[in-house]
Structure 1
Amino acid sequence: MPQNVDNLQTGKSQSGSICYKHYEVERILSRVIKSDGRYVYHVKRVGYDVLWDLENFVDEDQMFCPELIKKFDFYEKRKKKWKRTQRTKLQAKKRLRELANKA
Protein backbone atom coordinates (compact mmCIF):
# COMPACT_ATOMS: atom_id res chain seq x y z
CA MET A 1 0.00 0.00 0.00
CA PRO A 2 1.40 3.47 -0.85
CA GLN A 3 2.51 5.79 1.97
CA ASN A 4 -0.10 8.54 1.55
CA VAL A 5 -3.34 6.56 1.57
CA ASP A 6 -6.70 6.83 3.26
CA ASN A 7 -9.58 4.37 3.18
CA LEU A 8 -13.14 5.22 2.25
CA GLN A 9 -15.69 2.68 3.38
CA THR A 10 -17.89 1.99 0.37
CA GLY A 11 -20.35 -0.53 1.76
CA LYS A 12 -20.59 -4.27 2.22
CA SER A 13 -19.76 -6.90 -0.33
CA GLN A 14 -21.97 -9.91 -1.06
CA SER A 15 -20.00 -11.93 1.47
CA GLY A 16 -20.86 -9.37 4.16
CA SER A 17 -17.36 -7.99 4.57
CA ILE A 18 -16.76 -4.24 4.44
CA CYS A 19 -15.29 -2.91 1.19
CA TYR A 20 -12.82 -0.03 1.14
CA LYS A 21 -11.57 2.20 -1.65
CA HIS A 22 -8.01 3.42 -1.28
CA TYR A 23 -7.12 7.00 -2.22
CA GLU A 24 -3.76 8.71 -2.28
CA VAL A 25 -3.70 11.83 -0.13
CA GLU A 26 -1.98 14.88 -1.60
CA ARG A 27 -2.18 16.98 1.57
CA ILE A 28 -4.11 17.52 4.77
CA LEU A 29 -6.14 20.73 4.74
CA SER A 30 -7.50 20.81 8.29
CA ARG A 31 -8.32 18.72 11.32
CA VAL A 32 -11.15 18.64 13.85
CA ILE A 33 -11.46 16.78 17.13
CA LYS A 34 -14.49 14.56 17.61
CA SER A 35 -16.29 14.30 20.95
CA ASP A 36 -14.45 11.03 21.70
CA GLY A 37 -11.07 12.77 21.32
CA ARG A 38 -10.13 11.29 17.94
CA TYR A 39 -9.21 13.41 14.95
CA VAL A 40 -11.01 13.73 11.62
CA TYR A 41 -8.87 15.07 8.77
CA HIS A 42 -10.07 17.11 5.79
CA VAL A 43 -7.88 15.86 2.97
CA LYS A 44 -7.06 16.75 -0.63
CA ARG A 45 -6.81 13.57 -2.66
CA VAL A 46 -4.49 13.26 -5.65
CA GLY A 47 -6.42 13.91 -8.87
CA TYR A 48 -9.56 15.24 -7.15
CA ASP A 49 -10.85 18.74 -6.47
CA VAL A 50 -11.01 20.10 -2.94
CA LEU A 51 -14.64 19.76 -1.94
CA TRP A 52 -16.42 19.89 1.39
CA ASP A 53 -18.03 16.48 0.78
CA LEU A 54 -18.20 14.03 3.65
CA GLU A 55 -15.93 11.62 1.82
CA ASN A 56 -13.11 14.18 2.02
CA PHE A 57 -13.20 13.93 5.82
CA VAL A 58 -11.29 10.88 7.04
CA ASP A 59 -11.06 9.42 10.56
CA GLU A 60 -7.55 9.18 11.95
CA ASP A 61 -7.72 5.37 12.09
CA GLN A 62 -8.34 5.35 8.32
CA MET A 63 -5.30 7.51 7.55
CA PHE A 64 -2.17 5.63 6.51
CA CYS A 65 0.09 8.60 5.85
CA PRO A 66 2.14 9.29 9.00
CA GLU A 67 4.56 11.61 7.19
CA LEU A 68 1.73 13.90 6.01
CA ILE A 69 0.23 13.93 9.51
CA LYS A 70 3.63 14.77 11.02
CA LYS A 71 4.14 17.57 8.46
CA PHE A 72 0.63 18.92 9.11
CA ASP A 73 1.21 18.90 12.89
CA PHE A 74 4.52 20.75 12.44
CA TYR A 75 2.96 23.52 10.36
CA GLU A 76 -0.08 23.80 12.63
CA LYS A 77 2.18 24.34 15.67
CA ARG A 78 4.22 26.89 13.73
CA LYS A 79 1.06 28.72 12.62
CA LYS A 80 -0.28 28.85 16.20
CA LYS A 81 3.05 30.18 17.47
CA TRP A 82 3.08 32.87 14.76
CA LYS A 83 -0.49 33.92 15.61
CA ARG A 84 0.38 34.09 19.31
CA THR A 85 3.43 36.27 18.49
CA GLN A 86 1.33 38.59 16.33
CA ARG A 87 -1.29 38.91 19.06
CA THR A 88 1.41 39.79 21.61
CA LYS A 89 2.86 42.44 19.27
CA LEU A 90 -0.57 44.00 18.74
CA GLN A 91 -1.23 44.08 22.48
CA ALA A 92 2.14 45.78 23.10
CA LYS A 93 1.41 48.42 20.43
CA LYS A 94 -2.02 49.04 21.95
CA ARG A 95 -0.47 49.54 25.41
CA LEU A 96 2.11 51.97 23.99
CA ARG A 97 -0.64 54.01 22.29
CA GLU A 98 -2.64 54.12 25.53
CA LEU A 99 0.43 55.31 27.46
CA ALA A 100 1.19 57.93 24.81
CA ASN A 101 -2.40 59.23 24.94
CA LYS A 102 -2.27 59.54 28.74
CA ALA A 103 0.95 61.53 28.66
Structure 2
Amino acid sequence: MNMITWEDFEKVDIRVGTILEVADFEKAKKPAYQLVIDFGQLGIKRSSAQITTLYTKEELKGRQIIAVVNFPPKQIANFFSECLVLGVYNADKQVVLLEPSLKVGNGDKIG
Protein backbone atom coordinates (compact mmCIF):
# COMPACT_ATOMS: atom_id res chain seq x y z
CA MET A 1 0.00 0.00 0.00
CA ASN A 2 1.29 3.45 -0.92
CA MET A 3 0.99 5.93 1.92
CA ILE A 4 -0.10 9.50 1.20
CA THR A 5 0.09 12.63 3.27
CA TRP A 6 -2.85 14.63 4.61
CA GLU A 7 -1.89 17.30 2.07
CA ASP A 8 -2.29 14.71 -0.73
CA PHE A 9 -5.77 13.82 0.51
CA GLU A 10 -6.77 17.49 0.71
CA LYS A 11 -6.07 17.85 -3.03
CA VAL A 12 -8.88 15.41 -3.87
CA ASP A 13 -12.24 17.20 -4.02
CA ILE A 14 -14.94 14.62 -3.29
CA ARG A 15 -18.54 15.83 -3.34
CA VAL A 16 -22.13 14.62 -3.23
CA GLY A 17 -24.33 15.08 -6.28
CA THR A 18 -27.75 14.00 -7.51
CA ILE A 19 -28.14 12.22 -10.83
CA LEU A 20 -30.50 14.23 -13.04
CA GLU A 21 -30.29 12.31 -16.32
CA VAL A 22 -29.13 8.87 -17.41
CA ALA A 23 -28.60 7.71 -21.00
CA ASP A 24 -27.10 4.62 -22.60
CA PHE A 25 -23.55 5.27 -23.80
CA GLU A 26 -23.71 3.54 -27.15
CA LYS A 27 -20.13 4.39 -28.23
CA ALA A 28 -18.43 3.14 -25.04
CA LYS A 29 -16.22 0.06 -25.42
CA LYS A 30 -17.75 -1.51 -22.29
CA PRO A 31 -21.44 -1.08 -21.33
CA ALA A 32 -21.84 2.28 -19.60
CA TYR A 33 -24.24 5.11 -18.90
CA GLN A 34 -23.80 8.82 -19.51
CA LEU A 35 -24.80 10.65 -16.35
CA VAL A 36 -25.73 14.29 -15.78
CA ILE A 37 -25.15 15.15 -12.11
CA ASP A 38 -26.12 18.23 -10.06
CA PHE A 39 -23.36 19.28 -7.65
CA GLY A 40 -25.17 22.32 -6.25
CA GLN A 41 -22.92 25.39 -6.13
CA LEU A 42 -20.36 23.58 -8.35
CA GLY A 43 -22.93 23.23 -11.12
CA ILE A 44 -23.85 20.38 -13.43
CA LYS A 45 -21.20 17.85 -14.44
CA ARG A 46 -21.26 14.84 -16.74
CA SER A 47 -19.75 11.42 -16.15
CA SER A 48 -19.48 8.07 -17.85
CA ALA A 49 -20.03 5.13 -15.51
CA GLN A 50 -19.79 1.38 -16.10
CA ILE A 51 -22.65 0.56 -13.74
CA THR A 52 -25.16 -1.02 -16.13
CA THR A 53 -25.05 -4.47 -14.52
CA LEU A 54 -26.43 -3.55 -11.10
CA TYR A 55 -28.40 -0.37 -11.86
CA THR A 56 -31.17 0.54 -14.29
CA LYS A 57 -31.52 4.04 -15.68
CA GLU A 58 -34.76 4.44 -13.72
CA GLU A 59 -33.08 3.48 -10.42
CA LEU A 60 -30.28 5.98 -10.94
CA LYS A 61 -32.33 9.08 -11.70
CA GLY A 62 -32.67 11.12 -8.50
CA ARG A 63 -30.06 9.06 -6.60
CA GLN A 64 -27.32 10.83 -4.67
CA ILE A 65 -23.80 9.67 -5.44
CA ILE A 66 -20.27 10.53 -4.37
CA ALA A 67 -17.72 11.67 -6.96
CA VAL A 68 -14.30 13.21 -7.40
CA VAL A 69 -14.97 16.55 -9.08
CA ASN A 70 -11.50 18.02 -9.63
CA PHE A 71 -10.11 15.78 -12.35
CA PRO A 72 -9.60 17.39 -15.75
CA PRO A 73 -12.25 16.33 -18.30
CA LYS A 74 -11.53 12.97 -19.91
CA GLN A 75 -12.69 12.20 -23.43
CA ILE A 76 -14.32 8.80 -23.83
CA ALA A 77 -15.36 8.27 -27.46
CA ASN A 78 -17.45 11.36 -28.31
CA PHE A 79 -18.21 12.22 -24.65
CA PHE A 80 -16.32 14.31 -22.07
CA SER A 81 -16.47 12.92 -18.53
CA GLU A 82 -16.03 15.75 -16.00
CA CYS A 83 -16.04 13.82 -12.72
CA LEU A 84 -15.38 10.31 -11.41
CA VAL A 85 -18.35 8.62 -9.76
CA LEU A 86 -17.05 6.44 -6.92
CA GLY A 87 -17.95 2.85 -6.21
CA VAL A 88 -16.69 -0.41 -4.76
CA TYR A 89 -15.84 -3.45 -6.87
CA ASN A 90 -17.73 -6.41 -5.45
CA ALA A 91 -16.60 -10.06 -5.69
CA ASP A 92 -18.03 -10.27 -9.23
CA LYS A 93 -16.06 -7.14 -10.32
CA GLN A 94 -19.28 -5.12 -10.57
CA VAL A 95 -19.36 -1.53 -9.33
CA VAL A 96 -21.53 -0.81 -6.28
CA LEU A 97 -22.03 2.95 -5.98
CA LEU A 98 -20.96 4.87 -2.90
CA GLU A 99 -23.77 7.07 -1.63
CA PRO A 100 -24.72 8.93 1.53
CA SER A 101 -26.87 6.98 3.97
CA LEU A 102 -29.00 10.11 4.54
CA LYS A 103 -29.95 12.87 2.09
CA VAL A 104 -27.46 15.73 2.11
CA GLY A 105 -26.95 18.87 0.04
CA ASN A 106 -25.70 18.64 -3.51
CA GLY A 107 -22.11 19.82 -3.56
CA ASP A 108 -21.49 18.92 0.08
CA LYS A 109 -17.81 18.02 0.55
CA ILE A 110 -16.58 14.63 1.73
CA GLY A 111 -13.79 14.88 4.25
- The answer, yes or no, to whether TM exceeds 0.5 is no
The TM-score normalised by the length of structure 1 is 0.30
**Greater share of helix residues, 1 or 2?**
1
Structure showing greater Rg: 1
The TM-score normalised by the length of structure 2 is 0.28
Q: Relative contact order: is structure 1 or structure 2 higher (C-alpha 8 Å, sep ≥ 6)?
A: 2
